[in-house]
Every structure is written in structure tokens, then in C-alpha cells.
Amino acid sequence: MKVKSVLAAALAAAAVVGMSACGSSGATNDDSTITFWHNSTAGDGKAYWEQVAKDFEAANPGVKVEIQAIQNEDFAGKIQTAMQDPSTGPDVFMALGGEKTQEMIDAGQLMDLTDKISDTVKTDMKTALKAATYDNKVYGVPVSVEPGGLWYSKDLFTKAGIADTPSTWEDLLKDATTLKDAGIAPIALGAKDAWPAAHWYYWIALRECSNSVYEKSVQDKDFSDQCWVTAGEKLEELNKLNVFNDGYLTTTAQQGANSSAGLLANHKAAMELMGAWEPGVVKDLTEDGKAMADLGFFAFPSIAGGQGEKGALMGGVTYFSVNATAGDNAVKFVNFIGEQKNQEAYAKAFSTIPASEPARAVVTDPALKQVLEYLDKAPSMQLWMDTELGTNVGNALNSAVVNMLSGNGTPEDIVKAMQDAGAKG
Amino acid sequence: MPPKKLGFVRTRINDVRSAMSATNRIAVVPDARLRHNDKEANMKTTKTSKQSSGKGRNRLEILVLSAPAIILFVGFVILPIILGAYYGLYQWKGFGSPSTNGKFVGLQNYIIALKDPNFQAAIGHPLLIMIGSLVIQGPLAVLFALLLNQKFKGRALIRTLIFVPYVVSEVIVGTGWSLLLQKTGAVNQILTSIGLPAVDWLANPKIAIWTLLLIISWKYIGFAVILMLAGLQSIPEELYEAARVDGAGFWQMQKNITLPLLAPTLRIWAFLSMIGSLQLFDLVYIVWGNYVSTTAGVSTMATYMVREGRGAGNYGYGSAVALIIFVISLIIALTYQKFVLNRDLDGALTDGKAKKKFGFKKFKNESSNTQVAASEAVLAASEGEEK
């Protein structure tokens, strides 16, 4: 019996030790191994990162890059958990951006790269670097720039007899009505995910609010300016025309043929407001799995009487940050990612716009080239509003927009929701 | 048998009585062989008075045997609750630790949550679903069970079919129903093809909650039926025979024999159903998502917690909400146990009465577990015989 109880005790102890051992599978301070987290779990993107890691290992003998590809939806939660103790977290990882990155900086988890990034990164990515700069300090190396705008089916526009893409808000409303009268669902909207619906509000606000008001409001989280209410009213005006696809409140953004991107891909809806990732997403949702032949792009229209900068864009910048406790090799690795040839390969693998300006020459997709044209002309590019505001206020804003679209709220409620959220976090 | 071995058996029974009385009481009733050993052992131990050293080993055994369970329970249940309550006192984003990266706000998070109309609605919906499932599923399940308890051709097939939805994963059920019930989905296409108007099953706040109840009933009725069937099996056939001899009809028998004897099963099923309703998350999350569930009026406490805690990155606030959910569920569960389930669980889970009367120390000796007491009486009787 005694032997047994000793055995049992040993077993229990082993189980406890075993459980705690599971927690320490992250990075080590050992500089020769770099743990690297990204979010491309399949296809060309995954292959691209494997290739980059291999090239880096070849250029730096003795250094090993350990890759972990994590599903995008799980990424934020996992990185947050892993970085509870930075010494066990990954060395290089895709940054969450906006205020989440700010919070990680405040918690001392990110390395200040201001003096560590290479000159190539500094010059080639001058504009994109702004998104990774906080308080004049650089906390990441960008890889892609994804401005948003309206993606549309050229065939459906022609079918409804629309010759030119709309450049003003009035034109957009008129064209939407024309499409609807022709029996075509004008605008696909994945409101189940909230953010696609909220993007309409962001863009209208960007057109309505002057640059200084916009930046100050977002910075101070003070939305008392009238333009924030006007933006909601404009969106309600659009919603009242019934131009969103039937059942848009329960439509997802990217999952399957019934999602908003799927509706556009299969010519069930004429246009969608989305970021520059749209061609890649639509490609996976067409019937034959090939790129959508008649996919076109136009910038968000201007709004008469709006104070916003003409041609201003909004979008996302993907960048990679370095763990505050990581060694020199991790810094070398992010600089390596920023080199022109790697950026060119990135643009091809992800069919997107690379952060490095000289690398943009490799973009061949006609719709993406159009995006580039607008990007070159744009006086400024804001980050997605929810990213910039941080998850707390951003989440409240997104929910409030869905509330309004479903008829449960007013434009004033959107402003109120953003202000109320401040109390919860 | 050597005395030492018998002593062990005796101590094992003591263990079972004192430590395990909270678990399955049936297991506590010693079988005939054990009782016999026990009796002998008792005589031996009183003669050799080895009890004191036995007690120490007793404690060690209890400690060693229950350690894994206690460690798991404390580590994964008690500790998270305490930590959640602690995090709930901070405005904290989940980065670093609350004391350095968060802001201490006292009970503010709890107050904001309880005042938030969205959270109040999210408390209301599960309660409504709880009552709805009891009212819809209970009678239906009893009827199905009565039917499936009769002998007819294809009974096994129907029994299996009715249980299938329960076995299918919630994610698949949710995805399937959300596709069927889309505004342009299959259900509406069938409706329009036979000339009926299409219905907005999911997004219309007047309809959505009934849609949810329908999906839940469809999914969980199989579970209720299986439970009821098992309950029916345990009702002795003799009772029905006797009733038949007395000239009772079918419905009279169901009313006077089946229902009263099925009551314990019904009470347990209702308890499980209530807990399930209060914790409802996955179906709503899959079919409606975090955002539309609020506008459609089907949000639950758990979806609110995920949206406002994890979704908004307010881990402090989310923890406060989690603790409120815990307290609400605990109150409902304990109330139900005290007033409804107590007759089924008497002595097994709720030993409050005995504790109050005798105090803890005395309670240990004067076990209130009726079953144990009964077996003790048997022991005493047989011991008396021996003496």
C-alpha cells in the first residue's frame, strides 16, 4: 500500500510538473534561434515565409528561424497570452497595429527599432513606416499597404447601363438605385462581422470631417464635432434606399459563396467596400477558383460640403514587430524582410501592394494598379478607424453602426457608444 | 485472511464514508462480502487498538488519492474565479499585469455592467430561453419517451434518429441552420415557391428568439427523450400489472404511476436544461455572431462577455462580467437544488442541515447520509448478533 501511495503521489507531482512545463514552449533568449509568428496558414503566403526563413538561414549560418503560422482570428489572443512574459514570447511577430501595439509598447513588450532599422527600410518604406511609428519611435518593419475603396463588377455595371464609376456621393446613390431598378443587388455588405458595415461609417467620416478634426477626435477620443453625427446620417440615407444585399445583417464578410465577398465574386451583388486584400479573397470564392475577370476598383466618392481632404485614403499597414527581449538576429531578420527582393516576392505571393515603394513595380493586377494610382495621388492615408481607436472604442463603434443599420439606433447613438466605451477600459 | 489486510478494508470503508459521501451514494453501500470483512475487521481493530496509527495513514491516503482531483479543481476552477474577481477590479487591457498596466477602479466595472441595458437584455434572453426550453421540451420529451417505450416496428431506428441532432456538433448545427434560415436561404425559397411570404428568421428581433428556441428544442430534445426513456425503464412493470388488474386505463396509469416515478428524472433533466440555457453561447455565436445577436435580441450572457471582454480587449471589464455570470448561475443552481432537487440529492450534495445541527466535528461521526446510516445500522445489528 505504501508503495502505491508513493507512486500515486509521484504521479500527481509529475502531472503537475508536466502541466507547467507545457507553458514554456515559446522563444528562448538563445540568440541563434528566432521564433517567428505570422498569420498565413496556407497557400503562397505560407510558402513565401518558409522561403524567406530559408534564405535568411543561408545568409546567416548558425541561425535558425522557427516559424509558427497562426490562424488570423486566433492571432491577437495568442500573441497576447504569449507576451504575458516577453521572455517566452516569439521574437518577431506580426504586429496587431493601432492602439493594441501602443498597449504592448506601454507594457514594455516591444523593441524600439528607431536606430536599428536599415537604411533601405528607412528610405523605401518612408510612408508606410508612419503606421508603425509611435511617439516618433519606430516599432516595426512594414510589409504591405492595403488602402480601401469600392470594388465592383464591371459586367454588372454595364448591364445596368452605368458608364462611369461614381466620383461623388450623389452619383453613388444614383448608381445604386439604378442597379437596384435593374434587378441587381447594388452593394454587398457583411454586417454580421460588424467591421465591414463600420467601414462605410469610417469613410464617410473621413470625407465629412476635416483632417485636423478627424485626427484630433481619434487621438483624444472626443467625437463632439457635428461631422461625426453627419456621417451617421449619410449612412442612414444610404441604408434607407435598401441598396444593401438582402439579409445583409446575417451575411459574413469572407466565409463562403453567401458572404459579401462571395456575392461580389459570383455576380450576385455589384460592389463592395473593402481593403486591398479584396482581389485575393474574391479569387478564392469564384466558381472556378480563378481571379474575377471583371473586378474593378474606384476610390470612395467625395461628399459635397464635406470638410475632408480630397482624395484622402484609409487603409491598413501590416508590419512586423520585435520582442523587447529578442537579440540582434531578430533585428537582422526584420530588416531582411524589408529588402526589396523580399518585398517583391511578398507582393506576388500575397497579391497585394508591398510597403517598399521600389518593389511596387511588380504589381500587375489591373485593379491593384488602379489602387496604386489613387495611393500615389493621396495626400494622406489614415489607419482603419477601429485599429487606430483601439479595440475598446473601435468595437463599440462597430457595434453601434450595426445597431443603427438594423434600425435600433440613431447617428447620435454611435457617438454616444464611442464615448461610453471609454468607461469600460 | 490476515488481520492487517482486514484492517485496510475497514479503513477503506471509513475513507469512503468520510471523504466520498459527497459523490455517488450507491457506491457507498457496502456489498455483502465487504460487510462481512468489515465486521471481522472491526472486531480485530477493537481488540488490537491499532486505530490511531490507522487514522494517520488514513489521512495520508485521503490526501494522496484526492490530491490530483483537488489540484485540478483548485487550479482550474477556484483559482480562475478568484483571479477573475481580482481582474474585475481593474481597467485592464490584458497586456502585462493589472497592477502595473491596469488602473484600479474598485467596483466600477461591476456597476457599469449591471447598469448596461445590453447586459440586462443579455441576462433576460437566457432566462427566457430557459423557461421556453422547459415548457416546450419537457412535455414533448415525455410524450416521445412514452411513445418510444411502446413496442412497435422500427422503434430502434426512430430512437436513434431522435438522438442524432444531439450528437451533431453545435458548430455544424449552427452553420447548417444559419444557411437554411438566411433571408435568401432554403427555407425562404421553399416558402416563396408555395406562395407564402419570406420571413426574416434571423435578423428580425420579434422572430429571432423563437427561431433560436426552435433550433435549441430540435437539438436537445433527443437528449431529454433518452433521459426519460432511461427513467421509464427503471419503473417496475409490476406496478402497471397491478394497475391493470385494478382496471386502470392507459392515461390513468401514466398519470398515477409513470409521472410520479419519472419525477426524479424530470427534475434532473430540468436542472441540466437550465444550466445549459444559462451558459448558451456557441449556437448564438455561430448563427448570429457577436454583433447581430444584440440587435436581433438573442444575445446571451456569454456572448456579451465575449464581445465586451475579448472583442473589445477590456479584459478587466470582461472578468467582471464573467464573475457576475458565475454568481447568477450559482444562485439559480443552488436555489433549484435547495427547493427542487433536494429530495433526490438528500445527503449527497446538500448536507447543510446536519452541519447546522451538530457542528462540523460531530457531523463527521454522525454521518447524515441516510444510506451510510442504514448500512451502519446493518453493521451494528450484525455485530450485535456476533457478540
Residue A330, in any domain of the structure: yes
- For B103, which residue in chain A has the nearest alpha carbon? A425
A74 touches chain B (CB under 8 A): no
**pLDDT tops 80 at residue A57:** yes
| Spatial CB neighbours of B156, under 8 Å, sequence gap ≥ 6 | none
Both A264 and A404 in a single domain? yes
Q: Which of B68, B91, B205 faces A12 most closely, judged by CB atoms?
A: B68
Beta bridge partners of A69: A38
Q: Which of A391, A402, A421 faces B295 most closely, judged by CB atoms?
A: A402
* Cell numbers placing A160: 445596368
Q: For the purposes of burial, counting CB atoms within 10 Å of the CB of A310, is it exposed (0-12), middle (13-18) or buried (19 or more)? A: exposed
- Mean residue pLDDT across chain A: 88
What angle, 0 to 180 degrees and rounded to 10, lies between the N-to-C axes of helices B170-180 and B205-233?
140
Interval B125-152: pLDDT, tens: 999 999 999 999 999 999 999 999 888 8
| Whole-number pLDDT of residue A80 | 83
- Window 248-287 of B, Cβ < 8 Å to A: 287
In 3D, which of A185, A165, A196 has the Cα closest to residue A242?
A: A185
d(CA A234, CA A228): 10
Number of domains in chain A: 2
**Positive or negative: CA dihedral A87, A90, A94, A100:** negative
Determine which of A165-179, A232-246, B345-359 has the lowest per-residue pLDDT on average. B345-359
Please report, for the domain that includes residue A297, its CATH number.
3.40.190.10
DSSP secondary structure string for all residues of B69-108: HHHHHIIIIIHHHHHHHHHTTEE--SSS-HHHHSEE-TTH
d(CA A286, CA A278): 12
Residue A365, in any domain of the structure: yes
Residue reference for cell 473621413: A206
Both A165 and A281 in a single domain? yes
| Whole-number pLDDT of residue B348 | 58
d(CA B276, CA B133): 10
A170 touches chain B (CB under 8 A): no
| Whole-number pLDDT of residue B327 | 95
Q: How many angstroms away from the CA of A17 is the closest CA of chain B?
A: 12
* CB contacts, 8 Å: B312 with chain A: 391-392, 395-396, 421, 424-425
| Whole-number pLDDT of residue B24 | 41
Both A60 and A116 in a single domain? yes
Mark yes or no for CB contact B71/A392 under 8 Å.
Answer: no
| Whole-number pLDDT of residue B321 | 96
Low-confidence ranges of chain B (pLDDT < 70): 1-53, 345-387
pLDDT-derived band at A19, boundaries 50, 70, 90: very low
| Whole-number pLDDT of residue B50 | 53
- Window 200-239 of B, Cβ < 8 Å to A: 200, 202-203, 205
| Whole-number pLDDT of residue A281 | 84
DSSP secondary structure string for all residues of B221-285: HHHHHHHHHHHHHTS-HHHHHHHHHTT--HHHHIIIIIHHHHHHHHHHHHHHHHHHHHT--HHHH
Both A119 and A238 in a single domain? no
Q: How many Cβ pairs within 8 Å bridge chains A and B? A: 127
Residue A283, in any domain of the structure: yes
- For B188, which residue in chain A has the nearest alpha carbon? A247
Both A102 and A128 in a single domain? yes
**pLDDT tops 80 at residue A12:** no
Which helix (H) or strand (E) covers residue A143, if one does? strand A141-147
Which helix (H) or strand (E) covers residue A145, if one does? strand A141-147
**pLDDT tops 90 at residue A11:** no
Both A139 and A158 in a single domain? no
Q: How many whole angstroms from its chain centre is CA B283? A: 19
| Spatial CB neighbours of A421, under 8 Å, sequence gap ≥ 6 | A392, A393, A395, A396, A397, B312
CATH topology of domain B120-345: MetI-like fold (1.10.3720)
Of residues A162 and B9, more confidence is placed in A162
Ranges of beta strands (E only) in A275-373 are 295-298, 313-322, 353-354
Both A374 and A406 in a single domain? no
Answer whether B183's CB lies under 8 Å from B198's CB: yes
Q: How many angstroms away from the CA of A214 is the closest CA of chain B?
A: 22
ipTM score for this prediction: 0.75
| Spatial CB neighbours of B273, under 8 Å, sequence gap ≥ 6 | B130, B133, B134, B137, B220, B224
Residue A118, in any domain of the structure: yes
- What separation in angstroms does the CA of A318 have from each of A78, A132, A134, B93, B231? 18, 9, 15, 22, 59
Both A204 and A103 in a single domain? no
Q: Which of B8, B292, B294, B308 to mutate to test the interface with A (most CBs of A within 10 A)?
A: B292
Residue A14, in any domain of the structure: no
Q: Which of A399, A404, A413, A419 to mutate to test the interface with B (most CBs of B within 10 A)?
A: A399
Find the DSSP H helices in B337-386.
342-345, 352-365, 370-386
Answer whether A250's CB lies under 8 Å from B178's CB: yes
- For B107, which residue in chain A has the nearest alpha carbon? A424
Answer whether A92's CB lies under 8 Å from A312's CB: no
Go through B119-158 and write b for each residue having 16 or more CB atoms within 10 A of its CB, e for each that does not. beebbebbbebbebbbeebbeebbebbbebbeeeeeeeee
Report, as an integer, the average pLDDT of A89-100. Answer: 90
Answer whether A204's CB lies under 8 Å from A303's CB: yes
Both A125 and A58 in a single domain? yes
Both A306 and A397 in a single domain? yes
Residue A325, in any domain of the structure: yes
Determine which of A13-17, A160-164, B19-23, B266-270 has the lowest per-residue pLDDT on average. B19-23
Ranges of beta strands (E only) in A159-241 are 185-187
Residue A23, in any domain of the structure: no
Q: Are strands A269-274 and A133-134 parallel, antiparallel or unpaired?
A: unpaired
d(CA A34, CA A92): 7
In 3D, which of A312, A20, A12 has the Cα closest to residue A147?
A: A312
A114-118, A284-288, B54-58 — most confident range: A114-118
Residue-range definition of the domain harbouring residue A91: 32-147+315-379
Interval A181-221: pLDDT, tens: 999 999 999 999 999 999 999 999 999 999 999 999 998 88
Mark yes or no for CB contact B112/A423 under 8 Å.
Answer: yes
d(CA A342, CA A141): 13
Both A293 and A411 in a single domain? yes
Q: Which of A249, A390, A402 faces B313 most closely, judged by CB atoms?
A: A390
Both A288 and A361 in a single domain? no
d(CA A41, CA A75): 11
Determine which of A9-13, A171-175, B6-10, B109-113 has the lowest per-residue pLDDT on average. B6-10
Dihedral pair phi/psi, residue B321, rounded to 5°: -60, -40
pLDDT-derived band at A107, boundaries 50, 70, 90: confident
- Window 88-107 of A, Cβ < 8 Å to B: 100, 103-104, 106-107
Provide the residue ranges of all domains of chain B, joining segments of one domain with +: 3-87+351-386, 120-345
Residue A11, in any domain of the structure: no
